[in-house]
Amino acid sequence: MNVLAVLSFVLLLQPVVVSAGHFRYGTLSWRPTSASSSRVKFYMNVALQRDYDWGKYFRTQWSTGPTSKPVWQDAGSCYNDGSCCRIASTGCTSTPAAIQNFNVKSTSYVGYLIKFAVGNGYYPLTNGTICDSPYDTGDHPKCEPGGAAAVERFDPYGAKIPFNADPATTAVPCEAANDNDTDYCSPWSSTYGMFYGDGTHEDVTLTVTGVEHDASLDGNLVFASGSWEHTFPGQKKSAQEPWTAFFIGGERLGRVVGKLQNNALGRFRLETRVNVIGQNQAPTAVSPAVVPITYTSRASRSEYGIMSTLQVAAHDMDTAVGGQDQVYFVMGTSAQHGAVLANQVPEGAYLPASKAMGTNPPTSPWHKAEYEAERNKCMQVACAAGGQEVEPDTDGYSRPKDGVVSCDSCPAGGNRWCRQITELNAVNGNLSYRMLPFSCADYPQWDNSRNLAGPPPRMSIDVSTGVITWETGIGPFQVDNGAYADNWDANNDGVLDVTNGTVPAAMQPLAPGFYSVVIEIRSASNDPDCTLFHSAAVCANIGSPSAPAMTYVSTTVDFLVYLHPTPAFCSAACLNTKGGIATFHDGAGFYGDAASTVEEYAEHRYGAPGSGRCAICGGGETAATLLDRSQCVPTSPDCVGTCPGIFVDDDGRPSGSNAKDLNCNTVVPSGSPNLALVPAIASCVVNRRAVWVDQVDGSTPMAVNGGRAVVKGVLGQPVTFDLILEDPDECNELQIDADGLFKGHMMLALPRNGSGITVCSEGVTDCGWDMILGQTVRVGSQRVKRTFTWAAKEMPTDANTHPDKDPRPRNTEVCFRGSDGYLSPARRCVNIVLLRDEVLHWRDQRPELAETVARVGFSGTTPANGTIFYVTPGNTLEVNLSAKQGIGMGPITVLASQGVIPPGATLTDNVSNEGVGTAAFEDPQSVTFMWTPVHGQECTYQVCFLAKNTRADGFPIDYAYTIETNPRIDERCYTIVVARSALALSGAAAWMDAHSSVPATMQALCGATVAMWFRAGAGASTSMPLITLGYIAADGSVTAWQQLTWHTATDGKRWALRLTDASGGGEIASATTVEMACTGEWHFAALTVEASTKNAVTY
């Protein structure tokens, strides 16, 4: 085994969890440095706890910069490695005071550096490697009695744990004395750093990009990012497996102090799958570090569907022909959530271990056996029937009195305790003691779903949209007995778990607080070898949780959601000088941007006065603070203004000469003197969602049918538009952010058969290809605005690029989120469509096509989208389709884009003699769809057509677009109905048989419909049958059950339809319509006999 240096720091012989979880958010992605090598560039973005003791723990270091020759500082964060300041002789400083908290508000800190080394606790990696399995302790197990044979171990799921990352070898050499030290690999529970999956690892340096000093639970953040390059041994790990690179670390929040309800005190693992052979790059994901979300019942809907919802934003920066690659969203696995947790028993005993009494405090029980052992020890000392001694033993454990040990003796909420810890009093700085409570209910037997990492309970994600649906409950103190308002696939397996209207068992609400969420974002690997091992369908189904690893590249995004009740705010007209209810967003109980710098703690956000601050009167996380109107202080009685108040007497009854009740209705006064002015109900207003101000006077691009907005741009010209967010609440804290803006150095055009093109060098700060979201400005007290710009030139001093050389993708999605700090963000996704000045259109009869001289020649015969054609066998349907972009802009192709060309039909290119090009590639281009169906082809057919510019010069495709302000691809879809029979009556014939159109024998389950067009001659004067339904018996007799008759009216010009039904066992029933039909005109009639009945219906 590896023997660690014996130091005086006895308590640090094993890695421990420190006092504050510093991780909040992170994502890791990559792109190739070229299309032909195995060298890639990694990009990492994180949000971490600002006032963490940087430089004190786990080999972290910091520097003021510069990045070229930084001078590192730490406070003794490592003990026996030459890269630490403790050992290094130059370029590094280690003193106990060298701790960085980023706590000086007047200091920017932007550009400071934080280094994350690779290590195992305070030491280097054991044997230079991390354990392959998250459940491997890295320690040789104790030999079984009677021998020294190797020992096989099993993970919590019952599978054998491989030894030294070899799946074929599971037996681990044992040791006679089990010392609990790591021997052959570093366990996940204490290892951190960047690992590439190829046996190598590396320290990571990140640059601070921002600091948030707000001390709220969702604030207090330092933001950092970094990039670096790595060369893999090959473009993928094996024929069927990509490389899996990951940055692993620890210190998620705790449950008691940090309010993290799942994965408390667990690890985090930012993971990305690398496959360079497909000339691809990883998708990128962006999220706030903390996403607020409110309770929503089963019977209610939120922004994106039933119950509580939010949407994850991700993009693929590959800009191949046609736009971005599709991304897919999959809930992260247990391993991607970090796998193992520091299952402390009881929680708080090891934060850090130096606070625990005694000379040999145990490490956190990360694994099942350790957890069960520590739980059993606590039961023995805390759950004896006779009680406990007052003082602990020398190791801080309780000393039990006599009696049977039983969980009945240590119930939840009781006064039994397991361990005593020492800590400094936050007020006076003196050393104090605290007993850590224990109950069997709070620390039950090991359960994988609770004691291992994973997503929040009852949460699912839509694979194609990234919409998360979460069953949270109605509120923190209310059981949900309602029915589901819609269908829901709760297990992400493609099978509906509940359907609309289902009333399941009553659901206890989830606890308010933080929840850890990891989502894997996938896009196609484009691995050309995939079809050698899998079917094309499997290679394309990359959104399936069971998709083979070689089919996709991916990244994970790890973030927090904060579940809370809907807040409420006092009216701005109230006396808001004192804070109200403390919330996760503001511990002082205020909401709103300061309107005056005179206000306490006030700063002018966005450089201009805000809405002003309101006291918070609802949204607390106790029963008493869910809604507390007493926090609002009215300034005038008699329900005047928006902060209405009423006078009450000493019994709380309305009083005064103009008495009002809490709803501001006039009531009879009590007659007693006024004692107090109390707020009426209307003084406390429930928070309302911020909304986008849609396309008015050039504001936010408007979503089409609840989906994405579309902004039309021109190649070679900049794209710009405004985003305006409005809050209907009087007090507000509005913020607009973007989810994944394109950066020029990452905007690669990766044709599947060519080399990548970098349009800007990384590090260029003025790259014109960068999407820019301008500074936030106020538009009054309830609106904020940011301007989006996407330039059409590489450098600011350049001229706009030529349209044919514009490298920006032709169809790009960019999403924005607008937040008020409490409700889940309002998202607005915009498709930016870049077209040429000469836009491709179908030639049809739209008058807009002739509005300008530039559109002359666009008039044509192309049928409108949705046209239905009727044709009978033996007759010919001919449809002419034509498209135009402008003389010489071709070649244009018209093709069938959906559906199937029916057998026998043709699509022929025409020589128009008006365009440029060959018959197949002209501009304008015209094609003819022709079809003569035959008997046996009676059916309904659907076929769609697209027109596109298919130039062979390598530039992106132009598709035919609609004309409106927000254009979209104009696909023309048609329906062709082939009817079997058409009848015409002439001469003296009383009736005519139709061709056989139904089976000779109809079963009882069959129904039938007969429909027809008819016209009675102008001189018609007698009634006549139109449709008769019945049967011919074997003896030739005719039975007519239902008959539809053209029935004469009194004046001989207006007619009616009469339905006669003789199917009722000899009884004849009839019904007649009003006189509505005229002679000499065409009419349509249909007669239906419903399935399994004899009931007739006319239309």
Q: What pLDDT, in 10s, does the model give residues 327-353?
A: 999 999 999 999 999 888 887 766 443
Q: Which of 919, 860, 931 is nearest to 891 (CA)?
A: 919
CA distance 879 to 863: 8
pLDDT for residue 531 is more than 70: yes
Per-residue pLDDT band for 1000 (boundaries 50, 70, 90) equals: very low
Query: Of 42-51, 59-68, 94-103, 767-776, which has the strongest mean pLDDT?
Result: 42-51
For the ranges 179-183, 341-345, 1074-1078, which has the lowest average pLDDT?
Answer: 1074-1078
What pLDDT does 1018 receive? 62
Query: Of 557-571, 593-607, 780-794, 957-971, which has the strongest mean pLDDT?
Result: 557-571
Per-residue pLDDT band for 428 (boundaries 50, 70, 90) equals: confident
CA distance 1027 to 767: 75
Percent of the chain exceeding pLDDT 90 equals 38
What pLDDT does 474 receive? 95
What pLDDT does 360 receive? 41
What pLDDT does 73 receive? 87
Q: Which of 925, 929, 946, 947 is nearest to 869 (CA)?
A: 929
Ramachandran area for residue 176 (φ above 0: left; ψ -120 to 50: alpha; else beta): alpha
Stretch 215-229: mean pLDDT, rounded? 92
Stretch 174-184: mean pLDDT, rounded? 79
What pLDDT does 1099 receive? 40
User: Are 1046 and 1016 within 8 A, CB to CB?
Assistant: yes
What pLDDT does 383 receive? 96
pLDDT for residue 1004 is more than 50: no
Stretch 320-333: mean pLDDT, rounded? 77
For the ranges 668-677, 782-791, 959-968, which has the lowest average pLDDT?
Answer: 959-968
My answer on whether omega of the bond before 352 falls inside 30° of 0, hence cis, is yes
Per-residue pLDDT band for 839 (boundaries 50, 70, 90) equals: confident
Stretch 484-504: mean pLDDT, rounded? 84
What pLDDT does 350 receive? 64
CA distance 1028 to 1087: 9
CA distance 1011 to 994: 12
Percent of the chain exceeding pLDDT 70 equals 80
CA distance 984 to 1024: 15
What pLDDT does 33 receive? 82
DSSP code, position 627 = B
pLDDT for residue 701 is more than 90: no
- The backbone torsions φ and ψ at residue 605, rounded to the nearest 5 degrees and listed phi first, read -75, 140
For the ranges 2-16, 676-690, 970-984, which has the lowest average pLDDT?
Answer: 2-16
Ramachandran area for residue 656 (φ above 0: left; ψ -120 to 50: alpha; else beta): left
pLDDT for residue 90 is more than 90: no
Stretch 402-428: mean pLDDT, rounded? 86
pLDDT for residue 990 is more than 50: no
Per-residue pLDDT band for 915 (boundaries 50, 70, 90) equals: very low
pLDDT for residue 1085 is more than 50: yes
Which residues lie closer than 8 Å to 3 by C-beta, 6 or more apart? 181
CA 984 to chain centre: 60
What pLDDT does 964 receive? 67
pLDDT for residue 395 is more than 50: yes
What pLDDT does 455 receive? 96
Mean pLDDT in the chain?
Answer: 81
What pLDDT does 356 receive? 41
Write down the pTM of the prediction: 0.77
Which residues lie closer than 8 Å to 117 by C-beta, 6 or more apart? 59, 60, 61, 78, 81, 83, 192, 193, 203
User: Are 873 and 938 within 8 A, CB to CB?
Assistant: yes
- The backbone torsions φ and ψ at residue 812, rounded to the nearest 5 degrees and listed phi first, read -120, 135
Per-residue pLDDT band for 438 (boundaries 50, 70, 90) equals: very high
What pLDDT does 799 receive? 81
Summarised one tens digit per residue, pLDDT across range 583-626 is 999 999 999 998 875 544 445 688 788 899 999 999 999 999 99
Q: Which of 903, 968, 973, 976 is nearest to 939 (CA)?
A: 976
Higher pLDDT residue, 963 or 514? Answer: 514
CA atoms within 13 A on the CB side of 878: 6
- Tell me the three state secondary structure of residue 607: helix
Summarised one tens digit per residue, pLDDT across range 720-746 is 999 999 999 999 999 999 987 877 766
What pLDDT does 765 receive? 65
Per-residue pLDDT band for 290 (boundaries 50, 70, 90) equals: very high
Tokens coding 531: 């079809």
Summarised one tens digit per residue, pLDDT across range 639-665 is 888 899 999 998 889 998 888 999 999
Tokens coding 2: 């590896």
User: Are 137 and 208 within 8 A, CB to CB?
Assistant: no
Q: Which of 646, 516, 544 is nearest to 252 (CA)?
A: 516
Higher pLDDT residue, 567 or 1056? Answer: 567
| Burial class of residue 12, CB neighbours in 10 A (0-12, 13-18, 19+) | middle
CA distance 1066 to 1039: 12
What pLDDT does 1054 receive? 63
Place of tokens 């667990």: 266
What pLDDT does 595 receive? 83
Summarised one tens digit per residue, pLDDT across range 625-643 is 999 999 999 988 888 888 9
What pLDDT does 1017 receive? 67
pLDDT for residue 999 is more than 50: no
CA distance 309 to 461: 9
Q: Which of 622, 23, 563 is nearest to 259 (CA)?
A: 563
For the ranges 61-65, 271-275, 554-558, which has the lowest average pLDDT?
Answer: 61-65
pLDDT for residue 554 is more than 90: yes
Count the Cβ atoms, other than its own, within 10 Å of residue 231.
12
pLDDT for residue 14 is more than 60: no
Stretch 176-194: mean pLDDT, rounded? 85
What pLDDT does 835 receive? 73
pLDDT for residue 557 is more than 60: yes
My answer on whether omega of the bond before 891 falls inside 30° of 0, hence cis, is yes
Stretch 281-304: mean pLDDT, rounded? 91
Per-residue pLDDT band for 250 (boundaries 50, 70, 90) equals: confident
